[in-house]
């Protein structure tokens, strides 16, 4: 999906520019500064999570969190606006009450199921003079000037590197001199219908959308450190309805991939394999689940409720874990295939970081290391203060990541407007 794209001639159409303005323009408001509130909203297929954070000069403080069941989404696709709006209201109200505030605008996450990415080059002639900020902005705009289909909208564009004449691998070309400035920009586009639906749901819940953000980018903000992003790392989110992979290298996102199976598939497998109701299968998964059956004692027996009027049965816990291991093995093998086929398996020097609700399955990191063959760790939030304990669950990662992403965006915009380059560097250092 994210193979380096070919340069496509032509500018973004006027209709696409209007769509971008409608879907991406921040909610009308005064410029927010340190001490102001930022809200992240993750609308998943199994749960909706909202997190309220407060932005200070060198950190973000968590104030509140709310969650609700998601009954209006299925495998990342909206199936009921009414149900989704109801869930958004419930989660946001709970988070606002915990934080002691009213929520008016949110940073919303979008699943990799609705996005695609490619690399686009930009070239600018600078006539052998010193490179200025406006030159950097111009060459990035040039890279963004690619023709995309009418049903796609650019949501992220991140420079991978800059080149000055024949020197490549430059992270910041400001102050350098040369004849030609070039860049490669990784562009992420999203399905316009999905963007409109997210915006509509938030608007009907009484919220304005400050920005729509790829969930993998948001989660990376709070789970990955600078060295991991620089040397190469894979972020794997095994959620309820799907699994999403993002690869970072050279400090930037390089590749995203979506697989339509996750924790719910394990629950369904258990319900079928153990002849038990779905809600009981989920309970058994949470209470007795594991990723490696050989680590379970054969003589440990559990009670398994039956469907209908039949009596409960006693089964070895190992039978249950066998079923979970089979599904997890399938998911992780698909992840490994994607890393190899995309050419990124050898570029994740620091390994793989696990997140999502299914990362809570005991010994999943061991299984992932065995199948993928790289170091694996469980992701945990970093760079936060305040009520951190309420967002430690991987089910909250995307929402709290959206808060941190929003804080960085606002800090960068405010300080750039003030010419505060030194202060901006200190802000970023504090958030890392």
Per-residue pLDDT of the chain (432 residues; tens, 9 = 90+): 444 333 333 334 444 444 444 344 444 434 444 468 999 999 998 899 999 999 987 789 999 999 999 999 987 789 999 999 999 999 999 999 999 999 999 999 999 989 998 999 999 999 889 999 999 999 999 999 998 999 999 999 989 899 999 999 898 999 999 999 999 999 999 999 999 999 999 999 999 999 999 999 999 999 999 999 999 999 999 999 899 999 999 888 999 999 999 999 999 999 999 999 999 999 999 999 999 999 998 789 999 999 888 899 999 999 999 999 999 999 999 999 999 999 999 999 999 999 999 999 999 999 999 999 999 999 999 889 999 999 999 999 999 999 999 998 887 665 555 543 333 333 333 433
Q: Strands 105-110 and 36-43, how do they pair? A: parallel
Q: What would the two tokens of residue 325 be? A: 């291991």
CB 39 within 8 A of CB 410: no
Structure tokens at 333: 């093998």
Q: Pairing mode, if any, of strands 47-55 and 36-43?
A: antiparallel
Q: Which one, of 411, 416, 413, 403, lies nearest residue 430 by Cα?
A: 411
Please report the pLDDT score of residue 6 as a whole number: 34
Decide if 356 contacts 237 (C-beta within 8 A).
yes
The upper half-sphere exposure of residue 206, i.e. CA atoms within 13 Å in the direction of its Cβ, equals 10
* 67-95 per-position pLDDT tens digit: 999 999 987 789 999 999 999 999 999 99
Please give the pLDDT value at position 15.
Answer: 43
CA 27 – CA 407 distance, rounded (Å): 15
Q: Determine the Cα–Cα distance for residues 405 and 159; give it in Å rounded to an integer.
A: 17
Q: How far is Cα of residue 128 from the mean position of the Cα atoms in its chain?
A: 40
Q: What are the tokens at 221?
A: 């903000």
In angstroms, the CA 335 to CA 354 distance is: 12
Which token pair is 27?
């909610």
Domains, the chain: 14-113+192-224+382-431 (3.30.420.40), 115-190 (3.30.1490.110), 226-380 (3.30.420.40)
How far apart CA 179 and CA 74 sit, in angstroms, is 52
Residue 355 CB neighbour total at 10 angstroms: 28
Instruction: Give every CB contact of residue 287 below 8 A, 6+ residues apart in sequence.
Output: none
Cβ proximity of 258 and 124 under 8 Å: no
What is d(CA 394, CA 397) in angstroms, rounded to the nearest whole number? 5
Note the pLDDT tens digit of each residue in 150-199.
999 999 998 989 999 999 989 899 999 999 999 999 999 999 999 999 99
pLDDT of residue 100: 94
Rounded Cα distance, 331 and 340, in Å:
14
Residues paired with 306 in a beta bridge = none
Question: Which residue, among 269, 261, 267, 272, has the nearest Cα to 331 in the 3D structure?
Answer: 261
Residue 4 has a pLDDT of 37
Structure confidence at residue 254 (pLDDT): 92
């Amino acid at each position: 999906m994210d193979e380096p794209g070919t340069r496509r001639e032509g500018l973004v159409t006027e209709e696409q520019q209007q769509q971008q303005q409608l879907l991406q323009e921040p909610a009308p408001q005064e410029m927010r500064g340190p001490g102001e509130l930022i809200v992240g909203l993750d609308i998943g297929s199994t749960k909706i999570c909202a997190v309220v954070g407060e932005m200070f000069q060198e950190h973000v403080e968590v104030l509140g969190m709310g969650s609700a069941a998601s009954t209006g989404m299925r495998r990342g696709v909206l199936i009921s606006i009414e149900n989704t709006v109801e869930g958004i209201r419930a989660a946001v109200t709970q988070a606002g009450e915990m934080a002691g505030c009213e929520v008016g605008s949110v940073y919303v996450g979008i699943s990799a199921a609705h996005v695609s990415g490619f690399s686009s080059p930009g070239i600018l002639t600078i006539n052998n003079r010193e490179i200025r900020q406006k030159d950097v902005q111009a060459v990035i705009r040039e890279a963004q000037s690619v023709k995309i289909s009418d049903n796609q909208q650019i949501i992220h564009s991140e420079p991978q590197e800059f080149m000055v004449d024949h020197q490549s691998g430059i992270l910041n070309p400001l102050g350098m001199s040369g004849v030609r400035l070039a860049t490669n920009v990784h562009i992420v586009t999203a399905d316009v219908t999905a963007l409109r639906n997210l915006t509509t749901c938030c608007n009907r819940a009484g919220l304005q959308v400050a920005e729509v953000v790829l969930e993998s980018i948001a989660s990376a903000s709070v789970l990955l450190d600078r060295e991991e992003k620089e040397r190469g790392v894979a972020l794997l989110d095994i959620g309820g309805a799907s699994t999403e992979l993002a690869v970072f290298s050279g400090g930037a996102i390089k590749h995203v991939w979506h697989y339509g199976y996750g924790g719910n598939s394990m629950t369904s497998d258990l319900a079928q394999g153990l002849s038990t109701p779905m809600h009981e299968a989920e309970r058994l998964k949470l209470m007795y689940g594991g990723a490696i059956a050989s680590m379970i004692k054969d003589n440990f027996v559990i009670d398994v409720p039956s469907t209908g009027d039949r009596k409960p049965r006693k089964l070895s816990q190992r039978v249950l874990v066998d079923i979970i291991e089979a599904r997890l093995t399938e998911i992780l093998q698909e992840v490994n295939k994607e890393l190899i086929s995309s050419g990124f398996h050898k570029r994740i020097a620091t390994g793989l970081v696990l997140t999502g609700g299914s990362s809570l399955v005991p010994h999943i990191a061991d299984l992932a290391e065995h199948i993928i063959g790289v170091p694996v760790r469980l992701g945990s939030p970093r760079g936060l203060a305040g009520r951190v304990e309420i967002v430690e669950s991987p089910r909250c990662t995307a929402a709290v990541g959206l808060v941190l992403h929003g804080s960085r965006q606002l800090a960068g915009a405010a300080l750039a407007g003030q010419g505060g380059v030194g202060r901006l560097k200190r802000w970023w250092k504090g958030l890392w």
